[in-house]
Structure 1
Amino acid sequence: MLSRRRLLAGSALALLAGCSAAEPPPGPPPVPAPTRPAAPRDPVTVQRMPSAARGTDVDLVLMTPEGVPAAGLPVCLALHGRGARARTFLSLGVPAVLTAAVRAGTPPFAIAALDGDHYWVKTGGDDDPQRMLADEVPGWLTARDLRPPSAVFGISMGGFGALRFARTHPELKAVATASAALFASWPDARSRKVFADEANWRDAEPLRHPAELRPGALGVWCGESDPFLAADRRLVKAVSPEVSRFSPGGHDDEYWRGVLPEIVKFVGERLS
């Protein structure tokens, strides 16, 4: 028979285990969208924004260089990979990379990460991440004294979304992808169980629309052990981007952390 002391100890351990399992995501806790937004005062802010285009609330994660006033900064969108979220860029250390780049001479800019899904395109239903990026995000940024997006960066699935966004926004000054998840064939794309059908994939797939991408604004990074290496090489061959880097690494955080400083510098120099 358990003593009262042992029973209480066991309950306390169970409670601690439950708290650990529900550990909050990186970064500050999200706050509701303010009724009168202003330029961010902190290098990192997280706000929940109602997106009519996506039919749900999303995190808007704003990252600015430490010690630099946010008002009036140009903005690069950051699109995460499959299974991740906007806060993933905090886990990857993007705020520190951005601050270090600016202190080393890169012109300052802000990075805005959003929550997305299904390769950042409309694949059926009413969820349309591209419409959120095009129609809603500019207003969210200008309300905070930031400029509308003039660059986009994406990792993996986010690389697919960034290239899709670039196709309809030729005015972008910089487009960067790391380990872009691209598909050379419909069977390969179909295996992801994301696209509604082949026509949906063909319409969205960047590899099928290389003429709609501007070489001078594009930078492509991919690891030499990445499963998407062949597809990314195909993109480089078709578009001839200004920058292409294939170096040792896989489809993982270690590789992305390694190339982030180069990507941030690439974006910042073009936004200046």
Structure 2
Amino acid sequence: MLSRRGLLAGSALALLAGCSPAEPPPGPPPVPAPSRPSAPSDPVTVQRMPSAARGTDVDLVLITPSGVPAAGLPVCLALHGRGARARTFLQLGVPDVLTAAVRAGTPPFAVAAVDGDHYWVETKAGDDPQRMLTDEVPAWLAGRDLRPPSAVFGISMGGFGALRLARAHPDLKAVATASAALFVSWPDARSRKVFADEANWRDSEPLLHTAELRPGGLGVWCGESDPFLGADRRLVKAVSPAVSRFSPGGHDDEYWRGVLPEIVKFVGERLA
């Protein structure tokens, strides 16, 4: 029988474990990949997928509106920020936001999030997130009776990656960024210690390739206290996107949760 001291010690350890900053965002555990094509049966599924493009296994998080059959839905990619992961979109409340938007009249679509890194571009050999998004993700979605991605949404580092993807895929119907982490100079970008060299950054930096972005399908959101506000304003000035929203908020979860409903509606209306 445990002593009272033992019980108290165990309780303290449990509390410490529950508060560990290393604890992953909440979400369903990974499940095996299906042996044959099968549409998701639950509003949220998480599967571990081997990515040859990235040289590692990644989480594939699929989010569909509750009560809506998943088969044949159009798909919006969701690219997370630096230090986050695909499951972060569950923590931000995307499942509830998507379901609420569809129930309010937004045409239904699915959200697909995967694990990325280093601003969603190839900065070292053997790890190419853009190739994963272009060459591997469409096949993963097809194996689940979902359409190829026709939209992309990115937060912070994911905004950088979303704009890089949009340059290579001008057929995307919607491209949305929240607090896009953009860099106005090489010293600014170099300070992040991500890019291999200046040439690697120049090839990838959205602000240096704004002519390749399609303004009609672009939406830009950024908080007025965000450190990337100036860079995002430059993007808006250069591209004149269909939607640009600068409102109170910082570079944090509170701001992103606040703008998610508007972004989901923006994407859904264009995918329709």
- TM beyond 0.5: yes
Match of 1:138 in 2: 138
Q: Deviations over 1:126-160 (max 9, x none)?
A: 10000000000000001100000000000000000
Gap change, CA 1:162 and 1:24, over 3 Å in 2: closer
Within a 5 Å distance, the mapping from 1:91-110 to structure 2 comes to 91-110=91-110
Q: Deviations over 1:84-106 (max 9, x none)?
A: 00011001100100001000100
Match of 1:122 in 2: 122
Match of 2:88 in 1: 88
Match of 2:245 in 1: 245
Match of 2:14 in 1: 16
> What is the DSSP-based 3-state SS (H/G/I as helix, E as strand, rest coil) of the residue aligned with 1:41?
coil
Within a 5 Å distance, the mapping from 1:20-39 to structure 2 comes to 20=18, 21=20, 23=23, 25-39=25-39
Question: Aligned partners of 1:54 and 1:181: how far apart in 2?
Answer: 21
Instruction: Give the TM-score of the pair, scaled to structure 2.
Output: 0.95
Match of 2:203 in 1: 203
Question: Aligned partners of 2:170 and 2:94: how far apart in 1?
Answer: 25
Alpha-carbon offset, residue 8 of structure 1: 3.5
Within a 5 Å distance, the mapping from 1:88-237 to structure 2 comes to 88-237=88-237
Equivalent residue letter for 1:198: E
> What is the DSSP-based 3-state SS (H/G/I as helix, E as strand, rest coil) of the residue aligned with 1:76?
strand
The list of structure 1 runs, each at least 4 consecutive aligned residues, that deviate by more than 6 angstroms after superposition, is: none
Question: Aligned partners of 2:16 and 2:225: how far apart in 1?
Answer: 37
Question: Aligned partners of 1:24 and 1:225: how far apart in 2?
Answer: 27
Q: How many residues matched? A: 269
Q: Deviations over 1:161-217 (max 9, x none)?
A: 000000000110000000000000000000000000000000000000001100001
Alpha-carbon offset, residue 9 of structure 1: 3.3
Percent identical residues: 84
Match of 1:259 in 2: 259
100-109 or 29-38, larger mean C-alpha shift: 29-38
Pairwise CA RMSD: 1.4
Alpha-carbon offset, residue 36 of structure 1: 1.8
Equivalent residue letter for 1:31: V
Alpha-carbon offset, residue 16 of structure 1: 2.3
Gap change, CA 1:199 and 1:258, over 3 Å in 2: same
Unaligned runs of 5+ in 1: none
175-184 or 13-22, larger mean C-alpha shift: 13-22
Alpha-carbon offset, residue 31 of structure 1: 1.2
Alpha-carbon offset, residue 12 of structure 1: 2.7
Question: Aligned partners of 1:237 and 1:102: how far apart in 2?
Answer: 32
Unaligned runs of 5+ in 2: none
> What is the DSSP-based 3-state SS (H/G/I as helix, E as strand, rest coil) of the residue aligned with 1:32?
coil
Question: Aligned partners of 1:36 and 1:17: how far apart in 2?
Answer: 42
Alpha-carbon offset, residue 17 of structure 1: 4.6
Instruction: Give the TM-score of the pair, scaled to structure 1.
Output: 0.95
